[in-house]
């Protein structure tokens, strides 16, 4: 976890802010709301690594998922997720814990029906990102669903203009201390095709940040 010290500090600061969440209210971004509906349908158990404040996972619980497990390296994020679960009467079916990639080894093979990876894969060290996909392939049942959201690929010249430090080819460290694995669409397809079938890809616009994310509907092999 030492490699993620600055990442933890960043997200602990972010999740100091109060969060409003009502399990019966749709997620404000339509593409994400539709993705969660797809993920939750027919799934009784879902895991979310890098769950943050737990909103996506709790929304799945509201859709009828019986067991939801969220993991995040930020203690404050987990504290907030637990609070939101209590406030929405979802504590009995939603479980949260602080941890890194190694915590996934605690789960059994084929333990979950589905999983979420939202803006986490490309903020990890590349070896950890590959390990995350390998672990999801192991702990999610064959045919299980995965909703994966990634930052858009950014031209290297743009990153240089932002003062981002390139650590290795295509892998950067931002001024905030966050890592950024600048994956092209081809990079993503190569990473995923070994273990998952790509059912659908959607571009998600975040107008307030003037940027897009890539949302993948995956089926575990």
Question: 151-200: per-residue pLDDT in tens?
Answer: 999 999 999 899 899 999 999 999 999 999 999 999 999 999 989 999 99
Average pLDDT, stretch 81-90? 97
Classify domain 2-220 by CATH number. 3.40.50.150
Report pLDDT for 191. Answer: 96
Per-domain residue ranges of the chain: 2-220
CA distances from residue 49 to 93, 105, 149, 164 in whole angstroms, order as listed: 17, 12, 12, 26
Report pLDDT for 209. Answer: 75
Report pLDDT for 18. Answer: 86
Question: To which residue do tokens 């979310």 refer?
Answer: 48
Say if CB 117 and CB 148 are below 8 A apart.
Answer: yes
Q: Note the maximum CA span of the chain.
A: 48
Dist. CA 53–CA 58, nearest whole Å: 9
Report pLDDT for 164. Answer: 95
Other CB atoms within a 10 A radius of the CB of residue 207 amount to 8
pLDDT over 90 (residue 210): no
Q: Give percent of the chain above pLDDT 90.
A: 94
pLDDT, tens digit, for every residue of 98-148? 999 999 999 999 999 999 999 999 999 999 999 999 999 999 999 999 999
Compute the residue count for the chain. Answer: 221
């Amino acid at each position: 976890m030492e490699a993620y010290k600055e990442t933890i500090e960043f997200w602990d600061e972010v999740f100091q802010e109060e969060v409003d969440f009502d399990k019966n209210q749709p997620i404000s971004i339509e593409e994400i709301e539709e993705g969660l509906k797809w993920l939750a349908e027919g799934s009784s158990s879902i895991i979310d690594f890098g769950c943050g404040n737990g909103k996506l996972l709790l929304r799945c619980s509201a859709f009828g998922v019986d067991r939801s497990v969220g993991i995040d390296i930020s203690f404050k994020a987990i504290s907030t997720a637990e609070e939101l679960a209590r406030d929405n009467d979802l504590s009995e079916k939603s479980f949260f814990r602080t941890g890194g990639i190694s915590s996934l080894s605690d789960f059994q093979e084929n333990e979950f029906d589905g999983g979420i990876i939202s803006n986490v894969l490309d903020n990890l060290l590349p070896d950890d990102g590959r390990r995350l996909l390998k672990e999801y392939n192991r702990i999610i049942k064959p045919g299980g669903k995965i909703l994966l959201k990634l930052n858009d690929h950014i031209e290297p010249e743009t990153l240089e203009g932002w003062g981002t430090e390139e650590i290795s080819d295509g892998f950067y460290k931002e001024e905030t201390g966050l890592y950024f694995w600048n994956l092209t669409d081809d990079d993503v397809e190569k990473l995923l095709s070994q273990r998952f079938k790509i059912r659908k890809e959607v571009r998600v616009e975040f107008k307030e940040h003037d940027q897009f994310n890539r949302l993948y509907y995956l089926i575990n092999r």
